[in-house]
Structure 1
Amino acid sequence: MIVQKPRKKKKLSRYTVLNIIMLTIFGIIVIKLLYLQVYKYDDYKERADVSSTRFVAEKAPRGKIYDSKGNILATNTQTYTLTYTKTDESQERFYETMDKVFKILSENSEKFQDDLLLKIDGNGKFYYDFKTTSADSRKAVEKLFKRDRGLHEGVQKKLFKDEKGDLTDTQIDKINEELLKMTPEDTFYELVKTYDMYELILNPNLNQEGKEKEKEAEIKKYTNMTGKEITDLLLEKYSINDLRNYMVIKDTIKMQSFKGYRAVTIANNIKRDTAFIVEQKLNDLPGIAVSLTPIRLYPYKNLGSAVLGYMSSIGSWEESTYELQGYDASSDLIGTAGIESAFEEQLKGTKGGSTIKVNSKGKETEKLFELESYQGNNVHLTIDKDVQYAAQQSLADQINALTTTGVNGEQPWKSATRGAVVAIEVKTGRILALASYPDYDPNLFAIPGQLTPEQSEKYFNPDLEKFGKEFISKTGATGGLDKLFYKDEESGIRDDSNDVYPRSFYNYATLGLIPPGSAFKPVTAVAGLQEGVFAIGETIFDGGIFDIHPEIGYKPKNYGGIGNGPTDIKKALEKSSNFYFFETEYRLYNKYNGGIEAQNKLAEYAWKFGLGSDPNGKQKLGTGIEIPERIGTMYSFEEYKSAKISTSMYAFVNAFKKGEYTGRTFIPFDIEKLDDDSDELKAAKQALKDKILARLELVGVDVEKATDDEFNKSVEPEILKIMKLSTKYKETIDSYEKEKGIKVDLENEVAKLANAVTLFTIDQKTEMTNIAEPINAAIGQGISNFTPLELANYMATLANNGVRNRVRLVDKITTQDGEVVKEFETEQVDKVDIDPQNYAAIKEGMRRVTNSGGYAQTVFDGFPIKTASKTGTADFRSDDEKYKEIGRQPYATFGGFAPLDDPKIAVFSVIYDASRGSFASMPARAVYEAYFKDELIKMDPNYPSKSSMFKKYVTDSPYKDNKDTLEQVKTEEIKKP
């Protein structure tokens, strides 16, 4: 019998197990590959395509801006732009790449685009480069800058670490308060940390395989450091300016990262040679690209800057608004001020772009799709380039002469640094020239981040302290720096409330409100003749001092108090007789029995001429111009009443604080709102003020009012309540009793104060309703203030026999093919009825102004075309001491039109602080000569050699026509601004 032995189990060898494991892993990999490459092929292909596909936007050129004769005032030119695209490789080699780029730019005298608010001055000190002098605006910009970069998050963790959910408004305000305490230095340190700039000194050996933990530990070491500690380490190897240069690019990348893929602009408007150098080295510059981009070009530089405006980046506070309209807030420019802003929608083009594939370096490998961009529409202005040049340059020359050598042998007027000229086509309202001084070259702002620190300070953030000291030295202003430029104690910012600093971006032609002075007198002449208070040939004896009506309570006078003897309307305009026009208003006032209608009668004429507007809304506001303007104020009962009420509380508080009002004495009674006052005391003080204001509001209102006695009684309880609540008043009483050795009778004090309050309201009412202000208004003084544009419009209306047209700067809008999109026609908005005989008399009086005996005779000597004119010397302040305190002088104003018998053009000019109206007449003659150049040569072929102004502003004008030549300008021929 055969017995079988049990078989031994065969053990698996190590190699078999390993093979099984390997086969299993391999099988899983194969299955996974099949899954990815077959089942999920389409999905992952789409993802791969998306990650390597970019849409590169192409900026569209803006539409052109032409003058009325087809000359190009604003166009575009192609320029080379250097950009950076964030990819894995470009990010890894960021600092290496930037070093090379900065080196190329530096060696070729190029600037990189630097829009970072945080800057470093020449002494290595950090500061914020604000583009505003407003303290509130600065705070808002600074707060937004820090929040956009996440600096509030660290503050929030410190203040409200355990807070869950949304923060309250109070908590947010606290965070903002702490953010504003961060100095520019603190902000720099925080940004160094935010942007991981420790990478500059990170050991490069830690990037090797197997060093991950060591690298992680070193990164953790730096992240636990403060921004200042990291900065100190970086400064051992790099300069502070090097660090900031890196930061500028890092910051731009971060700000754009919220908006998806976008290339970052490193440098704009680089030279072709520089672009070529970069192109040759692109393989060593991952993420860098060179492209052609349109930028704005203003071929005539400063010419028409007050009309054209300029381009600027989109502010952080308005990003969301513009991005909703399709703008790229990080790189697109928008029109700022002038036509560029007002017609932004028409001028901006339609963007195009390309969908491309890129490699790991961000370089284009394939273009998949291209969308063409389209240029914006063209805007054709009413401006005549030649008339504009004459207006703008003659204004600048006259101001320069006034401030340096003086004019006509007189002393220089050092504060005469601002001015404006406006010329209007009489029959249409088309603006032929609009100049504001000082002006600027808009080319400077066509490329962001290219301004020098000096230019940035001049245009956006003037050093008023430095300027003020120089101004005081030149003008002899006695009030001191703080009187000239008030300093806010909290912010340390000075305020130019006295309008002394010459501001290039401020359009003095459309925004500057000035008293017209005697240039207003033709309005009073029209009113007086039309209302029949004076006849054309009627004379009155002008004795120089208006003292023939003692009941008006004061004695205004002519300039210098010099009389003109027997004076009719023509002589009154020729000699600018204040006396005659005082009497005209006196008669108007009495014709309407001295009531509200009497006080408003002159204003009714002024409003129809376009000077200010009826506060009750009966007149259309403004001149109709397309760019921003301010609306002037013509004296009327309502306007003056409103002005008196708004300032009355200051006079009331000051008088009662002193303890004396018009000879009535009482114990000083302080009703000024104080921080230390209790809420109850604050309310009591306000209640008394409200009662006074309510009383004043009823002046001129036809309703039943409390008598003076009734009002007197009604304020006594309010006064007594303040006395009982005010610790300060009690201390004043105690001090008074100790000093005088008597007991104060509070009831008697209440009565005295109530009487003084009542008398105060009576006095205010008297000032509101008496004839003093209407008499001032008759000669263009008092509260009447208008813009030069309004005053030019008034002159054009007078020249047009009372027909007032809407003022405009634009004739039409066209496409690039010349198709008219919109055309603007003449639009009549009002009519002043003027009797032909009255009109002829007024024109004759104005004709004499530029002839023998007239104030503008010298300037217009030899000018063959008859003109109608009126000069004006307008007071800045009624008090001579005010002039001395702040170093200012009266305005010089001039208005007129030509030719006399068939007016075609009206002009108004003003020079601030020039002291005499005739000094503003020179730009008017220059404008006339440019406008009538052909007629003048026909009248006298030798005229150009006889008139130095014609030669300077017409014959020798450097701004020739560019209708055909500009289109041929090549990129390399464009000079950088």
Structure 2
Amino acid sequence: MEKKKKKKSQLPFRLNILFFVVFLLFSVLILQLGVVQILNGEDFQEEIDRTIKDTTKIPVPRGKMYDRYNNVIVDNKPLYSITYTPAKGTQADDRLDVAENLSNYITMLPDNEEERKATLNTITERNKKEYWYLKDEENKELADSRVPPEEAADMSNAEQYNTMLDRITEEEISGLSEKDNEIILIKKELDKAYSLTPQIVKNSNITPQEYAQVAEHLDELPGINATTDWDREYTYESTFSNFIGSITSQEQGIPAENKQYYLTRGYSRNDRVGRSGLEEQYENILRGRKEQIQYTTNKNGNVIDSEVVVEGERGKDLVLSIDMEFQEKVDTIVREELDAAIKKHPYQNRYMKDALAVVLDPQTGEILASTGQHYDGEGFSDAAFKTLYDQHRPGSAIKGATVLSGYESGVITPGQVFNDRTIKIAGTPEKSSYRNLGLVNDYDALRRSSNVYMFYIALKMGGEHRYPFPNGSKAAFDTSAFQEMRNYFRQFGLGSRTGIDFPYEATGYVGESSSNPGLLMDFAIGQYDTFTTMQLAQYISTIANDGYRVRPHFLKEIRTPTPYEDKLGSVYKSVNTEVLNRIVMDDTLIERVQEGFRRAFQATGGTAVNYFGDKDYNPAGKTGTAENEVFEDGRKIDTENLTLVGYAPFDEPEVAFAVVAPNTGKVNNQHPISNRIGERILDTYFEMKENRDENVQEDADSDEDEADDDEDE
């Protein structure tokens, strides 16, 4: 009986232990719940409610370009645009879904058969394989199975994916329909998008129906938007296009070689930027300020709110110094005279391909027109960039700089006379003018273009002071004279950068500083170093401007953008005249060269008097002919460069120009292309000026009459 009692007394004890353990567990649980609710409850609630704020930047149209009379040169043409802005975490499957839905409302294949084929050819085999893989779960399983686990173990994820794609057969992708191709083309554009950065899917040839359908179904197309875009529109078509330059397409985006530069300045990878010309030079001004929109997304990546935090503003406008009406006329003049020269001597002028001209205001440096016309054997094309890029021997056009070098170096004095006759230095060919001119002073040397006068300047700067030079003798010569003369030339911009506001300009070829005095003699008459047409324009402007070398420039003003299509905004910045240097010499010496140039154009015996002698706008300048050569089939063929520099009016210069026509044939009765271009340029300039002055006066008289009528009323 006692044993039974003991067993009964043990059962409640074990049960009590069990109850106690359960009690402890519940106590711990309650304690933990208390910690969660009381101590960490707020943090966990914040995690539930957590949102992310991201900012996206929407591109704005670029600034416009105007000419000096406020005529639009470059505008923005509005376009319908379908864009895609992916949310964070968007996967390839998500983009495929969007592409499939979007293909119901837009087409990517053009109607034109050739364009259609070209577009289809942009679809690569890899595009097709990726599409086949993503479009069906069975396809995925089949393709994945072709890379066994034991093989995949030694591969990276990218290697596994590429291997899997490689093993999709041509037969499997051969049955893709036209609808499939449309989806692939759309997805290709979607794949280019970066998170929260709009990517254009289609913005050319969008029909109003497509635009409307997409706009109606935006709720079915996550990330898609129907908006407006822009494209550059050129009012004057190809005129001045070389200098306007171009911008990248959105497909190109920012140039890879400058990626870091642009990204650190707030650009997106698919932004369009200036690629050349003034579009590149003034990118920071033309780009505008992007609109910034802040998106709020929940932890699932869904956008729950948006707010414009920075208003967008299109780029500032450029007012250029160019007169587009005058530019068109100068283009025509240069093209017609080049055509006339080629037709007059088609065989002798077979190497003549270009004619170049620059016209500017010598006092301000404002470029009024700059043109280059190129003949390719069949027709003419714009090659204005060659006024900055191509370098040519200028011939006698630079003799003004030579005479001034002689004055300043002290080897000649104003009015000094030399006997213009053939000079023969031992070991070198004879050197002479186009004929023996007899006794000439500095005025005559410029008026009649004496080579011998310049030869004596070069010889004296080199240390040879005998006069007349004893023919057949050796000449004393110090090679430092090359650098000395070049230093004088560079004060005029010959051989140095002009400072023009353009991404690139050549500075010319610098010949060897040889111990041969004949080469410095060649340099003194423009037969050695080479210069650009823009450098020649700056040189003649410096002489016209009493020795002040000013920086040539295309930009005149920067204007703030305005919403009114037919009005310019307020002036943001004006480009002032920038003097680069002043020629270091007495004013009277520069005045002597100016007078020599006036006589070359207007006095009896002047080399250009037949073209400018009877002009009432009082011109001055200098002609030039330089021996040149081209090579064909190993043979050297002699040609000539015909050049001309000038300005007007002589007493108060307001326009200066330089003309270069390289590689003309060496023939008698050659078409005087440089003289004809220069004459027609000045005639046209002053004729247009007179017409504009008359129109201004008529407008003023009309306003005065209207004011009188109002007063009478």
2:646 counterpart of 1:896? yes
- How far does residue 108 in structure 1 lie from its aligned partner after superposition? 9.6
2:95 counterpart of 1:91? yes
Offset from partner CA, 1:326-385 (integer Å, 9 cap, x none): 000x22122233332222223321111334579999998864445311233333333233
2:685 counterpart of 1:931? yes
Judged with a 3 Å threshold, the aligned counterparts in structure 2 of structure 1 residues 888 and 303 are, in CA distance, closer, same or farther, namely farther
Equivalent residue number for residue 581 of structure 2: 829
Question: Aligned partners of 1:575, 1:246: CA distance in 2, in Å?
Answer: 73
Judged with a 3 Å threshold, the aligned counterparts in structure 2 of structure 1 residues 410 and 372 are, in CA distance, closer, same or farther, namely same
Equivalent residue number for residue 602 of structure 1: 485
Question: Aligned partners of 2:384, 2:638: CA distance in 1, in Å?
Answer: 19
Verify the 8 A CA contact 2:600 2:606 in the aligned structure 1: no
The secondary structure found in structure 2 opposite 1:595 is: coil
The secondary structure found in structure 2 opposite 1:640 is: coil
Equivalent residue number for residue 57 of structure 2: 57
Amino acid at match of 2:364: T
Question: Higher relative contact order by CA 8 Å / sep ≥ 6: 1 or 2?
Answer: 1
Higher mean displacement: 220-229 or 796-805:
220-229
- How far does residue 905 in structure 1 lie from its aligned partner after superposition? 1.1
Offset from partner CA, 1:586-638 (integer Å, 9 cap, x none): 3443249632454444334312222125xxxxxxxx22222234453586xxx
Offset from partner CA, 1:516-541 (integer Å, 9 cap, x none): 12222232233446646476484634
Question: Aligned partners of 1:778, 1:240: CA distance in 2, in Å?
Answer: 71
Equivalent residue number for residue 396 of structure 2: 518
Amino acid at match of 2:512: Y
Judged with a 3 Å threshold, the aligned counterparts in structure 2 of structure 1 residues 279 and 437 are, in CA distance, closer, same or farther, namely farther
Question: Aligned partners of 1:362, 1:102: CA distance in 2, in Å?
Answer: 27
Equivalent residue number for residue 865 of structure 1: 617
Equivalent residue number for residue 911 of structure 1: 661
- Mapping of 1:560-575 within 5 angstroms? 563-566=435-438, 568=440, 569=442, 572-575=445-448
Higher mean displacement: 810-819 or 417-426:
810-819
- How far does residue 906 in structure 1 lie from its aligned partner after superposition? 0.9
1:427 corresponds, among 354, 363, 369, to: 363
Offset from partner CA, 1:693-741 (integer Å, 9 cap, x none): xxxxxxxxxxxxxxxxxxxxxxxxxxxxxxxxxxxxxxxxxxxxxxxxx
Equivalent residue number for residue 677 of structure 1: none
- Mapping of 1:676-695 within 5 angstroms? none
Q: Give TM-score scaled by structure 2 length.
A: 0.72
Equivalent residue number for residue 188 of structure 2: 250
Equivalent residue number for residue 318 of structure 1: 258
Equivalent residue number for residue 554 of structure 2: 809
2:352 corresponds, among 378, 392, 416, to: 416
Verify the 8 A CA contact 1:342 1:627 in the aligned structure 2: yes
2:356 counterpart of 1:611? no
Question: Aligned partners of 2:485, 2:688: CA distance in 1, in Å?
Answer: 40
Amino acid at match of 2:132: L
Verify the 8 A CA contact 1:382 1:431 in the aligned structure 2: yes
- How far does residue 236 in structure 1 lie from its aligned partner after superposition? 1.5
Equivalent residue number for residue 103 of structure 1: 107
The secondary structure found in structure 1 opposite 2:582 is: strand
Equivalent residue number for residue 451 of structure 2: 578
The secondary structure found in structure 2 opposite 1:933 is: helix
Question: Aligned partners of 1:863, 1:272: CA distance in 2, in Å?
Answer: 58
Equivalent residue number for residue 196 of structure 2: 261
1:553 corresponds, among 406, 413, 428, to: 428
Offset from partner CA, 1:616-669 (integer Å, 9 cap, x none): xxxxxx22222234453586xxx624xxxxxxxxxxxxxxxxxxxxxxxxxxxx
2:498 counterpart of 1:623? yes
Judged with a 3 Å threshold, the aligned counterparts in structure 2 of structure 1 residues 938 and 66 are, in CA distance, closer, same or farther, namely closer
Judged with a 3 Å threshold, the aligned counterparts in structure 2 of structure 1 residues 214 and 565 are, in CA distance, closer, same or farther, namely closer
2:81 counterpart of 1:81? yes
Offset from partner CA, 1:43-87 (integer Å, 9 cap, x none): 2332xx54xx87443223333333333333334343222223445
Question: Aligned partners of 1:822, 1:231: CA distance in 2, in Å?
Answer: 65
- How far does residue 319 in structure 1 lie from its aligned partner after superposition? 1.6
- How far does residue 793 in structure 1 lie from its aligned partner after superposition? 0.5
Higher mean displacement: 102-111 or 793-802:
102-111
Q: Identity of paired residues, percent?
A: 21
Equivalent residue number for residue 472 of structure 2: none
Verify the 8 A CA contact 2:286 2:317 in the aligned structure 1: yes
Judged with a 3 Å threshold, the aligned counterparts in structure 2 of structure 1 residues 205 and 792 are, in CA distance, closer, same or farther, namely closer
Judged with a 3 Å threshold, the aligned counterparts in structure 2 of structure 1 residues 62 and 389 are, in CA distance, closer, same or farther, namely same
> Quick check: which has more Rg, 1 or 2?
2
- How far does residue 920 in structure 1 lie from its aligned partner after superposition? 2.9
Select the structure that is richer in helix. 1
Give unpaired runs (5+ residues) of structure 2. Answer: 1-7, 9-28, 150-159, 467-475, 562-568, 696-713
Verify the 8 A CA contact 1:567 1:580 in the aligned structure 2: no
Amino acid at match of 2:491: K
Offset from partner CA, 1:294-337 (integer Å, 9 cap, x none): 44433233333343332223112322221111000x22122233
Judged with a 3 Å threshold, the aligned counterparts in structure 2 of structure 1 residues 876 and 97 are, in CA distance, closer, same or farther, namely farther
2:281 counterpart of 1:342? yes
Judged with a 3 Å threshold, the aligned counterparts in structure 2 of structure 1 residues 795 and 373 are, in CA distance, closer, same or farther, namely same
- How far does residue 907 in structure 1 lie from its aligned partner after superposition? 0.3
Amino acid at match of 1:595: D
Select the structure that is richer in strand. 2
- Mapping of 1:302-701 within 5 angstroms? 302-312=238-248, 313-328=253-268, 330-356=269-295, 367-369=306-308, 371-402=310-341, 406-408=342-344, 411=347, 413-437=349-373, 507-528=385-406, 531=410, 533=412, 536=415, 538=417, 540-542=419-421, 546=422, 548-551=423-426, 553-558=428-433, 563-566=435-438, 568=440, 569=442, 572-589=445-462, 590-591=464-465, 594-613=477-496, 622-630=497-505, 632=507, 640-641=512-513
Amino acid at match of 1:305: S
Verify the 8 A CA contact 2:331 2:371 in the aligned structure 1: yes
1:780 corresponds, among 526, 530, 535, to: 526
Higher mean displacement: 880-889 or 366-375:
880-889
Judged with a 3 Å threshold, the aligned counterparts in structure 2 of structure 1 residues 539 and 505 are, in CA distance, closer, same or farther, namely closer
Give unpaired runs (5+ residues) of structure 1. Answer: 1-5, 7-26, 113-119, 127-187, 440-470, 476-500, 614-621, 642-767, 942-977
Verify the 8 A CA contact 1:436 1:508 in the aligned structure 2: yes
Question: Aligned partners of 1:881, 1:798: CA distance in 2, in Å?
Answer: 36
Question: Aligned partners of 2:537, 2:106: CA distance in 1, in Å?
Answer: 52
- How far does residue 397 in structure 1 lie from its aligned partner after superposition? 4.0
Amino acid at match of 1:771: P
Q: Give TM-score scaled by structure 1 length.
A: 0.54
Judged with a 3 Å threshold, the aligned counterparts in structure 2 of structure 1 residues 224 and 392 are, in CA distance, closer, same or farther, namely closer
The secondary structure found in structure 2 opposite 1:829 is: strand
The secondary structure found in structure 1 opposite 2:202 is: strand
1:197 corresponds, among 129, 133, 155, to: 129
Verify the 8 A CA contact 2:128 2:184 in the aligned structure 1: no
Amino acid at match of 2:626: A
Offset from partner CA, 1:772-829 (integer Å, 9 cap, x none): 11011011112x1112111100011111232322333333434345153454234251
Amino acid at match of 1:815: T
